[in-house]
Structure formats: C-alpha cells, structure tokens
Amino acid sequence: MTFSTLLIANRGEIARRIIRGARSMGVRCVVVFVDADERAPFVSDADEAIRLPGGYLDGDAILEAARRCGAEAVHPGYGYLSENGPFAQQVRDAGLVWVGPSPEVIATMGDKLAAKRLASEAGLPVLVSSEDPGDASAVGYPLMVKAAGGGGGKGMRIVTDPGGLDEAVAAARREAQSGFGDDRVFLERYVARSRHVEVQILGDHHGNLVHLGERECSIQRRHQKLVEESPSPAVDGAMRSKMGQAALELARAIGYQSVGTVEFIVDDVTREFFFLEVNARLQVEHPVTEEVTGIDLVREQLRVAAGEPLGYGQDDVTFVGHAIEVRLCAEDPLAGFLPATGTIVAFEPASEPAVRLESGVSAGSVVTVSFDPLLAKVIAHAPTRAEAASRLALALERLHLGGVTTNRDFLAATLRHERFLAGDTTTDFIERARPTLALELSDEELRVATTVGALWLQGQNRSQAPVLANVPSGWRNARLPRQSTWLRFGDRLVDVTYRFRRDGSFDVGAGSVARVHHWSQSHVDVEVDGVRTNTRVTRDGAALYVQVARGTAALAIVPRFVAPGVELVHGGLVAPMPGAIIDVRVVVGQEVSAGETLVVMEAMKMEHVISAPSSGTVTELFVAVGQQVDGGAALLAIDSVDDAQKDQP
C-alpha cells in the first residue's frame, strides 16, 4: 500500500463502509463533516474528523482538510464529487492518490451523451435519443428527459405526450443544476416494460479487466432504486455472457481502471438490452456483488489506486448463491414516497437472522432535508433467491425502528410478494404488484399490541412513582377499579381497560387475562391468553413503539384532556415536508384547474410539486420563492368551485 492515511470525502453509511474496509488494510481514516452531521456515527467512527465550512461539494475545502491531516489519498464514495472529473484532477495535481478511475474517464462517462456515443462506437446497442427537445416527435412518446451530467434518479422525468414536455424539461434542468451543477438534459426513448440490469466491472493499471456479474435494480420509485439483487432472476447464462462482454468491450475502449458499473435497460418483452450509462464510481448496491463473488470492492479500489495488479482473471471469478439488498429510507410510501424528517428514537437490529447492515444512523440521529433520505442498506445472502428474500424480510420485520416514517414495511411486503418471489420485477413493479405500503394489523393483532403497550406504560408509571412504587397501579384497599389507556394506531382508536387481580395477573376485558412476567425500560415480557412474548418497547413523549411480529407498531398515547388546536385555513394547502420554495406559479385572485401546478418545493435534493386538488380561485398566498418552510406549513388557500357552489342559495 502506497498510502497510510485516507481522506473520505463523503458521509453517512458509505463513509462508514469505507472506514471499515480501509482500516482492515491498516489505513488510517479521516472524514470531513458539516455542522448538520457533527453527531453522525461516521464522524465518531473515523480516526479524525475535520469540519467543513461549506458543504460536501466544496473541493477546495476538502483538499485543505487532506493537507491538514496529512492524507496521501482521497476516496470520494458515491454521489457528491465522486464523478467530478475536475475535482479528481485537483486531487492528483495536489500530489494525492485519487481512489477511482482517471479524471479523463470520469469526465467522459459522467457526460451521459458522450458515453452513449462511445458505447455506440464500441458496438453496444443504444436507445434512440436526442439532445434537442425539439426532436421529441422523432424520439417518440413515451420518452424520458434525463440529466446529461448526473444520475441517481435526479433530473429525470417521464413524458407521455407533447403537452407535458416543456415543464418536464424545465424541472429536469433545475434538478440537474441543483444536484450536479450541470443543467444539460436530453431526451431518450422510454421502455415501459423493462428491467434495469447493470454489470460490475473492475480494472487495474496493468491492463487487467474483469466483470463480476450482473445486478438487477428494477424496483424503483422516483427513478431511484429500492431493491437490488445478484444475480438477476431474468438473466440466463447466454445473456449474462453477452452483457458481460459488452461491458468489457466498452471498458477496454475507454481504458477503465478501478471499480465501475455499466448499466443496461432490458426490454422485458423482446429480451433486447440497451446501454444506458457508465457509473465511474462505487455503487450503492455494491454489497450484493461482494456477497456472491466474495470480492471486497472497497479493498480492490484501494489496491488498484495503490498501483497493485488484480492478480486474477475472468476465469477466476466465481458466483455463489443469491444476494438481495434493500435501501431503508426515511420516506412515507403512503404519501407517494415523499421524504420524511425527524429524530430516530429507536434503531435496534435483531441479532437473528444474520444479515449485513450498512447504516449511516443510530438511535438519536436527526434526519433533515439537507441530505438524501437513505438511512441504511440491509443485505441478505443465501444459497437460493427465495431463502435470501425470506431472511431479509424477517430481518426487516424484527428491526426495532421508530421516530421517523420509513419504507421498512413496504420493503418487507415487497420481499414476501408472490410476484417478487416469481422474479416478476420490472421497473413498473410497484404500480403493477402494489405491495402493502405500511404495516397493517388485524383486530386481534392490534388488541394484543395495545394490551402490551398499555401494560408496559403501567409498569413505567409504577417505576417512576415517588412513593409506593411496588404497589400495583390503580391499587385501593378495596375492590380494585378498572384502569383505561387510550392508544391510537393510524386512524384506529383503542381503549385498553385492565384491572389488577390478586394473583398478580391483569383482567384485560372480554374474558382475557394478561400477566407481566418481567418489565424493564426497554422490554416487557407479557403473556396474553396463554401466548407469551418478550417485546421491545420504546417511548418518546406521546409516541409508543411496540415491536410486533411484522414490524414496529407506532402507537400514539391519547391524553385524557386534549388542548384546543389551531384552526386550519379553509381550503388551505400545506407543505408535505420541510423544504425550500423554488417556484410559485400563481397569484392571489388567479383561477386554477384541478391538477395544475401551484408551488414547487425542493427537499432532500429532489423537486416536489404541489398541485391544485380541485378547480377554484387562489384566495391567499403565504409563501414566496426562496423561503424555507416547515412540514405542515400553510402554502396557499383555494376557494374551490365545489365550495362556491355549495354556498349559493
């Protein structure tokens, strides 16, 4: 190894992953961080952490940090500056080792249009595309508007007809400029019934080049991946060989070194595959390739950057079993997968089943709008695809998680869905299969969960009692009265009534009996009608998180006396999350139609459109461009046509 100190120019789970990999090779690890991340786990994991005055895109400040800590190499992770050719050149010019492909390759492959031209010249099939929005009819509808200088689902819009083209291009340009500093976009044929399949490549500086098989990443929302697996259930030996050779041909044509990914779109009807792009960096989903090949990609990146040869060829690469990864994100599937914010009050993975967890958070972490909503990646490897899916689903279900709305329940439902298990995983999977979006409990499951929650609460109340803490709650020197605790699960309100009995058990109504065998601040061992469970429980103010068989039930403790609330603005529209107002399309007095765009917000590096729920007239406007708003903040008010008609005599 030609370097002993590595600066990691990234954050979150990927910074922690690189720290583990580099440190196992004897390399000291330094990270950079911004104010919002000062308590993040990756900061304390590193040997040293240097505060940035700006952000993670400030290349000059990152290089100054490298100078201060004596780093000899820089690893960019993924996102941020990982595919920024000029920054890679700055690193080299500073006499440091850049952990990644050459600046020239990054510049070429980072430009999606240049990459498509090179792929076509190398003989790879490409989709019809155009850099001129005026050529939309030649490309054909439906089409995709795509950012030329970035990826990760940002700067992408599907357009089904000419009427939506101008707005899609404008929105994609804004998002691309915000995310990559490059507002160029292009049009590309959109394949509706398709699969997203990518081939992992790895090359050194001595001319050695291999591919490490394929990954399928078709299950997506907002054009961003949620579930990734290797191998693809739709790729047979013949297609794997063709795609692998195509990826290697392109890699040789551009002189690729380090880890990279050649992405393809596969038409699920015709079985044709087309080149999409090259990601000249480590991918979020790299763990599934590591699991099936046994090759540590971070280690290989560092070895290649140090000038070492791979030491193996294509025939030496073997594949064992099946691996699946899911991205656990702070987002609300019930609200169209909009990002969520808040404080994670519970984050405790179960010890079994054994899975690989790559997390950027822990209990106490604050999720803000400043960063991508990815909280963690969970990966399962098993001899078969079905076993990997079952193991991963159970690990997700047994994860004790609360404080922030996440997609955990949706992911577990997807892994158990019959269409997923059958390998029917095209890019429209969510719309076609419609897996359950959130935790659903039967009446009996809810009865038991609320009973457990109420009995944990009575135990906590007794533990905090200033006197007679060992006396049962509700105790009287006479017949003991029934006690009542109101708990809400979603829109379902449950009144849990219970009475302490002389034998130490509880009468919980309708002939049911419960017994608390053990209570602690984090668990309660409860037997309800002969069924006993040791349940993880976390309280955060009026929120109670109770672990159940298929996840964590978020219960709201309903107070006996409710304070009057703030009256909502009639006809008001509110912000679905905290963010910045980047466009206001209306003025007071303007008539609008149902579905018309009113306000555009930016949060977590993505744009979110606020549309009119019905036709009417804008009566009040509470925000302006550039304003930061909290989630739930009033944006504007509309006097709808329906309301106006109701008011008429």
500 φ, ψ to 5°? -70, 135
Residue owning tokens 């920024």:
84
| Closest CA relative to residue 250, chosen from 103, 83, 123, 111 | 123
Cα separation, 131 vs 276, whole angstroms: 15
Question: Tokens representing 118?
Answer: 């090179």
Residue ranges of domains in the chain: 5-99, 128-189, 194-433, 443-557, 572-647
Q: How many residues does the chain have?
A: 649
Tell whether the model's pLDDT for residue 99 goes beyond 50.
yes
**Cβ atoms within 10 Å of 202's Cβ, excluding its own:** 25
SS3 286: helix
Tell whether the model's pLDDT for residue 643 goes beyond 70.
no
185 φ, ψ to 5°? -135, 165
What is the mean predicted confidence (pLDDT) over 129-153? 83
Q: What angle do CA 419, 420, 426 make, to 5 degrees?
A: 90
Confidence of residue 149 (pLDDT cuts 50, 70, 90): confident
178 φ, ψ to 5°? -70, -40
Q: What are the b/e assignments for 356-392, b being 16+ CB within 10 Å?
A: bebbbbeeebebbbbbbbbbbbbbbbbeebeebbbbb
Tell whether the model's pLDDT for residue 562 goes beyond 60.
no
| Closest CA relative to residue 310, chosen from 206, 225, 226, 154 | 206
Question: Tokens representing 520?
Answer: 């602690």
Percent of the chain past pLDDT 70, that is, above it, reads 93
The class that CATH gives domain 194-433 is: alpha beta
- What is the reported pLDDT for 565? 45
- Considering the chain, what is the average pLDDT of its residues? 91
Tell whether the model's pLDDT for residue 641 goes beyond 80.
no
232 φ, ψ to 5°? -70, 135
Q: Give the residue with greater pLDDT, 210 vs 643.
A: 210
- What is the reported pLDDT for 568? 46
DSSP state of 10: -
Tell whether the model's pLDDT for residue 513 goes beyond 60.
yes
- What is the reported pLDDT for 567? 45
Candidate from 59-68, 150-159, 391-400 with smallest mean pLDDT: 150-159
- What is the reported pLDDT for 470? 56
Q: Give the residue with greater pLDDT, 138 vs 401.
A: 401
CATH topology of domain 128-189: Dna Ligase; domain 1 (3.30.1490)
Residue-wise pLDDT for 213-269, tens only, equals: 999 999 999 889 999 999 999 999 999 999 999 999 999 999 999 999 999 999 999
Tell whether the model's pLDDT for residue 171 goes beyond 80.
yes
433 φ, ψ to 5°? -80, -30
456 φ, ψ to 5°? -65, -40
Question: In the chain, what is the greatest distance between 2 CA atoms, to the nearest angstrom?
Answer: 91
**Cβ atoms within 10 Å of 500's Cβ, excluding its own:** 20
Q: What is the CA radius of gyration of the chain?
A: 27
Dihedral (C-alpha) 303, 306, 309, 315: value to the nearest 10 degrees? 30
Query: What are the DSSP E strand ranges found in 491-542?
Result: 492-500, 506-507, 513-519, 523-528, 531-540
Residue-wise pLDDT for 308-363, tens only, equals: 999 999 999 999 999 999 999 999 999 999 899 999 999 999 999 999 999 999 99
The class that CATH gives domain 5-99 is: alpha beta
Question: Residue 560: what residue type?
Answer: R
Cα separation, 499 vs 283, whole angstroms: 56
Confidence (pTM) = 0.85
Query: Which CATH number is correct for 572-647, 3.40.190.10, 2.40.70.10, 1.10.3980.10, 2.40.50.100?
Result: 2.40.50.100
Tell whether the model's pLDDT for residue 378 goes beyond 50.
yes
CATH topology of domain 443-557: Glycoprotein, Type 4 Pilin (3.30.700)
Contact 618, 634 (CB under 8 A): no
